[in-house]
Amino acid sequence: MADGEHNPAILIPYPGAGEDPAEQDIFVYLRPESNGVLVESTLLRVVKRSEKYKKQIFLVYLANLPGEFIMRNRITENHYPLKLKFAARGRRLFTPAMKEAFSRKFRTGFEEAKILGAFEALDVLGMNPEELFSVWATDHDFMAINDQTIKKIHGHYVVNCDIPQLVSLRYAGKNIAVMIFRTSLSCREFAEIVRMMEKALLDAGILLPDRPASRIFHYSRGPFEQVLDGQGYLYTREADRVPPEQLPFPRFLASRGVEFSVVEGILQHPLIRYSGEGGLIREESIYSHTRGASYAEAWEKLRDIRSQVILCWGKEDQEALDRFAQREFRETV
């Protein structure tokens, strides 16, 4: 339990998973750099005014997590462990499949390419976190693989440009507003209401036309993302974590004989290899692999996993993060 004035403000406490197995609990949380109150009201208004969806989507959790609480509990680091590893180590973490895909996309040899983790890129390119994050890349100069992003910037290929900015906002003490919408809609159907939310933000001038909506808010795009979001952002009024096994997807898996320890192991090492078409072994993040899936579909995909890629967080990785954190902390005090 946390104490003090910097605890989460739980405006609507989470009631626990519903009784209907068809219902999903989808997290929506606002990015620290967004105008929380204005964005929150805009998103909720979209649901309330939709004749099609207002009786199928219900707000069951609403909280504000203070920046100090986020920093003290290392929520950002725990939420993005794989992206942090790649931002710290860059090319050294690329798997053989990633190297091959990189060379195919950018038409250059992997070993010859100037590939930088985002933390190193700040010094090499002489940019601050916001400048690095804001670099616009065309499709020709951008790649997403295994939930990691690569941008070609001034002849360098930078891995996970967004991570230094996310970490720096943590040290700036920015708050995060979190909502859970309970719905019998599928993830794919919920994506339609998300598009309506994006349009409302554009119409209100909150979202600029050249910026993706992900700069403003995030939503759970699949069952495993729901559990990951629950681990980071679901709390009681006493500032205790709500056990993520109480969420609908882990309960669904438990009813099929899958223990929560299996889910925890997948979230800890989300890069998986599974049997694809024709029995070929393919590599992907569990989040992208189950994006848009129903609970039953995600369960089937879980059963197809053949192995996990274990990427450990080493001493030099922590040192790189600590050096960056110390610099950001000095600049915000």
Element (H, E) at 82: helix 81-89
Helices 223-233/248-255 angle, 10° precision: 120
**Full residue range of the structural domain in which residue 213 is found:** 9-66+175-251
* Predicted pLDDT of residue 146: 95
Distance CA 243, CA 7 (A): 18
Phi, psi of 234 (to 5 degrees): -110, 115
Q: Which of 330, 318, 332, 271 is nearest to 119 (CA)?
A: 318
Q: How far is CA 136 from CA 75, 120, 141, 290, 302, in A?
A: 28, 19, 9, 28, 35
Residue with tokens 């029995």: 279
Distance CA 109, CA 113 (A): 6
Q: What CATH code is carried by the domain that includes residue 179?
A: 3.30.70.600
3-class SS of residue 283: strand
| Count: domains in the chain | 1
* Predicted pLDDT of residue 33: 62
* Predicted pLDDT of residue 70: 87
- Judge whether 267 lies within some domain: no
Are 10 and 63 in contact by the 8 Å Cβ rule? The answer is yes
* Predicted pLDDT of residue 1: 44
Q: Which of 32, 19, 27, 18 is nearest to 61 (CA)?
A: 27
Amino acid at 258: V
Tokens of 100: 């091959």
Residue with tokens 């991570």: 163
Distance CA 316, CA 136 (A): 30
Distance CA 150, CA 287 (A): 18
* Count, residues in the chain: 333
- Judge whether 183 lies within some domain: yes
- Judge whether 30 lies within some domain: yes
- Judge whether 159 lies within some domain: no
Distance CA 184, CA 63 (A): 22
- Judge whether 60 lies within some domain: yes
Q: What is the pTM of this model?
A: 0.88
- Judge whether 308 lies within some domain: no
Phi, psi of 218 (to 5 degrees): -120, 145
- Judge whether 108 lies within some domain: no
Element (H, E) at 12: strand 9-12
Are 138 and 183 in contact by the 8 Å Cβ rule? The answer is no
* Predicted pLDDT of residue 279: 81
* Predicted pLDDT of residue 52: 86
* Predicted pLDDT of residue 94: 96
Distance CA 217, CA 181 (A): 14
Please measure the distance between the N-terminal and C-terminal CA atoms of the chain and give it in whole angstroms.
26
Q: Running along the chain, 333 residues long, what does each successive block of 10 average in pLDDT?
A: 70 94 92 73 91 91 90 86 92 96 97 96 95 92 96 97 84 79 89 92 85 84 96 95 95 96 95 89 95 94 94 69 60 46
- Judge whether 34 lies within some domain: yes
Measured at the CA of 268, the angle between CA 158 and CA 71, to 5 degrees, comes to 70
* Predicted pLDDT of residue 331: 52
* Predicted pLDDT of residue 253: 97
Helices (H) and strands (E) in the chain, counts: 15, 12
